[in-house]
Amino acid sequence: MPTQLDLQPSLTDLPLSPGLSTIAVHAGAERVNAHHALTPPVVQTATYTFADTADLSDFMEARMWGMAKGRTEYGRYGNPTVDAAEKKLAALEGAGAAVLYSSGMAAVTSTLLTLLQSGAHVVITDDSYRRTRQFCLNFLRKFGVECTVVPMGDYAALEAAIRPTTKLIISESPTNPYLRVLDLARLVEVAKRHNIKTFVDATFATPLNLRPLDFGIDLVVHSATKYLGGHNDLLAGVVAGDEQLIALLRQNLWMLGGVLDPNNAYLLVRGLKTLALRVEQQNRNGQRVAEFLEGHPKVERVWYPGLASHPDHQAAKTQMRGFGGVVSFEVKGDLAAGSRLVDGVKIPIIAPSLGGVETLIEQPSLMSYYEMSTEERLVVGIKDNLIRLALGIEDADDLIADLAQALERV
């Protein structure tokens, strides 16, 4: 963990080890902005100007030596609003640097295209985001990259899948939709023994609940669309890690082009300022709702790492500061029983995604896996009676009362 955070010199009166909420508000922020504005401005430009040819030559010379900090010539290569968001995110993760993308999937795909080449092999856990699995199994295969899927939590199977050509282990913590939690120290030990890089999606955790880099993970990725933005009004992705690795990713981002625009960067900075407050409430809501559901006679099983019944509860207790705002559960009955519950609630809104201030609800069988038959869904672990509840910041008592009345319809 860095001993000095990337805060502006004028913030040196802060504690030497500021808390995560303080970092979320102040890291990467200028004390004096244009026109004396409190918030960082949206620098809405596609290109940047030079006073004369000498100014241009000085910039080009500085860039050749890696000294052109805070200056560029074209919008795809950088933007001050995006830079401010990246600094804030790097500080929250305890990372050397962070790079922003136009979406979470752009962050994943650009990273994999950067780190892998023909003949390489990757290992991915089976409860990882389905689009990431599809990219590894289908898209990368066309370019000569092989992929092995192993069961989440089976570290013997993971190590057995490693080959001399294995370059990357990809996983997620907590996972979607069963909230499985990695034993990060164990994963890192296996990876380092075989000289393999690790890439972990921690979208469900946020840096407030889990910082994989602290455990030795090489790169952490987030769909910033979710908790980091927090208001369901932007698309963004971020990768954080060692400064040299991030510099390599940034070089390829300039070529691949999936950059984040300044308006979404501005919204992301705004959302990050309340991240700690929102996540704290969502953690409380998650725990209370999970405990209520586990005790309800019409619920077969609840998946939430804050419950002792969860298979990774001990790992979650050891590594996480909170257990998050997503609760997955199985109602007693079939797909229709689950639909009666989803249609019966008054507060949660039927929608994909998670991490915003509003509570969202969905049946994975109807949302992400609709094109599959029941039998095909069972092969990938999705039951028809499974419901995913992404809790917002509403009052827990209201959410519980609403679920209770809706469960009467099941």
The residue ranges of every structural domain in the chain are 9-43+79-272, 276-407
Instruction: Write the pLDDT tens digit of every residue in 369-378.
Output: 777 777 877 7
Q: Is 76 tagged catalytic? A: yes
Q: What per-residue confidence (pLDDT) applies to 15? A: 58
State both tokens at 399: 């959410």
CATH number for the domain formed by residue range(s) 9-43+79-272: 3.40.640.10
CB of 166 closer than 8 Å to CB of 140: no
Ramachandran angles phi, psi of 387, nearest 5°: -130, 135
Catalytic-role residue among 88, 197, 226, 377: 226
Mean pLDDT, the chain, rounded, equals 93
Q: Is 288 tagged catalytic? A: no
What does the alpha-carbon distance between residue 252 and residue 110 come to, in Å, rounded to a whole number? 7
CB of 241 closer than 8 Å to CB of 220: yes
Q: What is the mean pLDDT of residues 13-37?
A: 80
Decide which of 264 and 38 is more confident.
264
CB of 223 closer than 8 Å to CB of 264: no
Is the model's pLDDT at 39 over the cut of 90?
A: no
DSSP β-bridge partners for residue 97: 241
Q: What is the mean pLDDT of residues 214-226?
A: 98
Q: What per-residue confidence (pLDDT) applies to 14? A: 53
- Preceding peptide of 41 cis, ω within 30°: no
CA distances in angstroms from 95 to 91, 99, 237, 322, listed in the order given: 6, 11, 16, 20
Catalytic-role residue among 129, 266, 304, 369: 129
Residue 383: how many other CB atoms lie within 10 Å:
19
pTM reported for the whole predicted model: 0.92
Instruction: Write the pLDDT tens digit of every residue in 271-327.
Output: 999 999 999 999 999 999 999 999 999 999 999 999 999 999 999 999 999 999 999
- State the pLDDT confidence band at 68, using cuts at 50, 70 and 90: confident
CB of 157 closer than 8 Å to CB of 181: no
Q: Is 201 tagged catalytic? A: yes
Catalytic-role residue among 63, 71, 76, 284: 76
CATH number for the domain formed by residue range(s) 276-407: 3.90.1150.10
- State the pLDDT confidence band at 7, using cuts at 50, 70 and 90: very low
Is the model's pLDDT at 269 over the cut of 70?
A: yes
Q: Which of 15-24, 83-92, 358-367, 395-404 has the lowest mean pLDDT?
A: 15-24
Q: Is 242 tagged catalytic? A: no
Catalytic-role residue among 127, 201, 218, 384: 201
